[in-house]
Amino acid sequence: MKTGLHQQTGMRQELRINPRLYQAMDMLYMPMLDLQQHLQQELLGNPFLELEEPEDEESKEKTIEEEQEIAKKDDEVDWEEILLNGFDVSGGAREQYEAHEYTEPVTVDTENLADHLNEQLQMLDLPARHRLLCDEIVGNITDDGWLGCSLDEILASANQWLRSNLPAAHYRDAEDEDDPFAIEEEVPEPEEVPLPPGVTLFTMPELEAALVTVQSLDPAGIGARDLRECLLLQLREAGEHGTIAHRMVDEAFEDLKAHRWNDIARRFGVSARDAQQAADTLARLDPKPGLRHADKGDAYIIPDLIVDKIEDRYQVFLNDTGVPRLRLSRSYQDLARERGKMSTENKDFIASRMNSATWMIQAIEQRRQTMLKVMNFIVDRQRDFFEKGVEYLRPLTLREVAEVISMHESTVSRVTNEKYVQTPRGVLPLKFFFSSALSTASGEDASARSIRAKLEKMVGDENPAKPLTDQQIVHLFEEQGVQIARRTVAKYRDQLGILPARMRKRV
């Protein structure tokens, strides 16, 4: 075989995506807040773009056709082809896609659970060793308020910290104590370093005493190792020690979790009704007391679309009042008309920026039209939901929407992702309107989301003394013409957090 470099010609088909299409896909994907930041960055980076003032909209001197003539014809984008094929279109040579810098909103620092506990510890007069162990425990409390590791692990960590923070002199041999510049060839491990006189390692009784201190802080139940201890701490704080509720948690926790009221009643010599009433008091306790002080951060939702009922018709509006309105800068357009007097480098720069600005304006408008198309179809399809409620929500898939509005399924997916709509029924994510279908006797499909809503209503209206079993719920759905399996009922019940019939029964 002959080795060396060779050249040869050939033909092949290759799929390439223009870098601008990457940006178009991102813009469809962006929720309202991200789009605002993105357009602000574009305004700063492209001098051919400027904000369009309200009065300018009435007196536009340039039409869209005139603006497009300025741009190069070979850089025009066929939006119909892009949206129909889900952005999978061939373009020119692949270029380096420029990542834009997104400015995150600055949030005000708020007090979290650790800060809340440390403030209380500072108000207590605690010895240094005791306070150090309390700090170690607080550092291992999770956001829900429970202890995130065992006491053995906390004790080992505290003793390791104690050894590692000994004075440096204890790491030198006795013969080198007089020489401050003496350096050990091999520094011993912290576990091997002898403790100085008067210093002892932490012990488990000390750690348990520190845990008692932390568990006495607010909120009640903090620092618990499991649910049982969390409830006991809250009952102690409420002065319920020795009551039936306290004894149920302390002595019969497994029976309590299984709702075995008769067994609990016989064990404590009370009626089954009294046992249930005691369990009702336990249900009012907080199983995760730390969440009320957890640092959740700020989460803002700005609806991208608005659906309003006007004269018996549901109208769809785009909530883009906060989005900058862009237009081509007129002063830079005049500059572009005088490109004949410029150097080749300046001509290329102006043409590139002009085309980019024109394309950005077209992309924003196309995004608006695409979102309105998708939402208008959803409103037409789900009119019964807007009129009567979630029980009348019809099944809907992304493919069905894509086929009706003549767009690719991936385009519809980008439009609906992380988007919200303000409706007479509340602010809802667009994904809310999409759900799988279950067959009915009438031949029409029922939405899985509406089935769950009906299931929740059935359980809410049942007789507590005789709760509905999963099989009885199946029969009720069959009477309504809905074909559903018992395992599907059990799955939906678990998703809704509804207990089995045996555990919902009241005596």
DSSP code per residue over 37-96: HHHHHHHHH-TTEEE--GGGGTS-SS-HHHHHHHS-GGG---HHHHHHTTT----SS--P
pLDDT at residue 375 is higher than 70: yes
Q: What is the mean pLDDT of residues 123-139?
A: 91
> What is the pLDDT at residue 98?
41
> What is the pLDDT at residue 164?
77
Q: Which of 133, 149, 290 is nearest to 208 (CA)?
A: 133
Q: What is the mean pLDDT of residues 405-431?
A: 85
Q: In this predicted model, which residue has the larger pLDDT, 164 or 107?
A: 164
pLDDT at residue 411 is higher than 50: yes
Helix (H), strand (E) at residue 447: strand 445-447
Q: What is the mean pLDDT of residues 92-97?
A: 38
Percent of the chain at pLDDT exceeding 70: 72
Amino acid found at 341 = K
How much is the CA Rg of the chain, to the nearest whole Å? Answer: 34
> What is the pLDDT at residue 213?
94
As to burial, measured by CB atoms within 10 angstroms (0-12 exposed, 13-18 middle, 19+ buried), residue 196 is exposed
Pair 435, 395: CB distance under 8 Å = yes
> What is the pLDDT at residue 338?
67
Spacing of C-alpha 235 from chain mean position: 34
Q: In this predicted model, which residue has the larger pLDDT, 196 or 202?
A: 202
Strand order in the sheet with 420-423: 313-318, 305-310, 420-423, 426-429
pLDDT at residue 262 is higher than 80: yes
Lowest mean pLDDT across 297-306, 312-321, 433-442: 433-442
> What is the pLDDT at residue 328?
74
pLDDT at residue 57 is higher than 60: no
CA angle 334, 335, 339 (to 5 degrees): 120
> What is the pLDDT at residue 187?
46
435-507 has which CATH code? 1.10.10.60
Pair 48, 322: CB distance under 8 Å = no
If pLDDT is split at 50, 70 and 90, which confidence band does 312 have?
confident
Query: How many CA atoms are closer than 13 Å to the CA of 258, on its beta-carbon side?
Result: 8
pLDDT at residue 91 is higher than 50: no
Q: Give residue 17's region: left, alpha or beta (phi > 0; psi -120 to 50).
A: beta
If pLDDT is split at 50, 70 and 90, which confidence band does 184 have?
very low
Lowest mean pLDDT across 137-146, 323-332, 388-397: 323-332
Kindly report the average pLDDT of the chain as a whole number.
77
d(Cα 447, Cα 433) in Å, to the nearest integer? 9
Residue whose entry in the numeric block shows the structure tokens 């952005």: 87
DSSP code of residue 293? G
pLDDT at residue 352 is higher than 70: yes
If pLDDT is split at 50, 70 and 90, which confidence band does 209 have?
very high
Query: How many CA atoms are closer than 13 Å to the CA of 311, on its beta-carbon side?
Result: 0
> What is the pLDDT at residue 163?
79
In 145-301, which residue ranges form alpha helices assigned H by DSSP? Answer: 151-164, 204-215, 227-237, 244-251, 253-257, 261-268, 272-283
pLDDT at residue 225 is higher than 50: yes
> What is the pLDDT at residue 95?
40
pLDDT at residue 8 is higher than 50: yes
pLDDT at residue 346 is higher than 80: no
Percent of the chain at pLDDT exceeding 90: 13
Q: Which of 397, 353, 351, 358 is nearest to 378 (CA)?
A: 397
> What is the pLDDT at residue 194?
65
Pair 307, 277: CB distance under 8 Å = no
> What is the pLDDT at residue 175?
42
> What is the pLDDT at residue 444?
58
> What is the pLDDT at residue 170?
44
Lowest mean pLDDT across 146-160, 195-209, 338-352: 338-352
> What is the pLDDT at residue 141?
92
Beta-bridge mates of residue 329: none
CA dihedral for 466, 471, 474, 478, sign (positive or negative): negative
pLDDT at residue 442 is higher than 70: no
pLDDT at residue 304 is higher than 50: yes
Residue whose entry in the numeric block shows the structure tokens 């491990």: 189
Q: Where are the beta strands (DSSP E) in 283-395?
A: 305-310, 313-318, 326-328
Number of helices and strands in the chain (H, E): 22, 8
Domain residue spans of the chain: 15-93+303-430, 112-176+188-217, 225-294, 435-507
> What is the pLDDT at residue 335?
67
Largest CA distance in the chain: 102
pLDDT at residue 193 is higher than 60: no
pLDDT tens-digit readout, 480-505: 888 888 888 888 888 888 888 888 88
Lowest mean pLDDT across 57-66, 170-179, 319-328: 170-179
Q: What is the mean pLDDT of residues 100-119?
A: 66
> What is the pLDDT at residue 212?
93
Q: Taking the model in full, what pTM does it have?
A: 0.60
pLDDT at residue 120 is higher than 50: yes
If pLDDT is split at 50, 70 and 90, which confidence band does 453 have?
confident
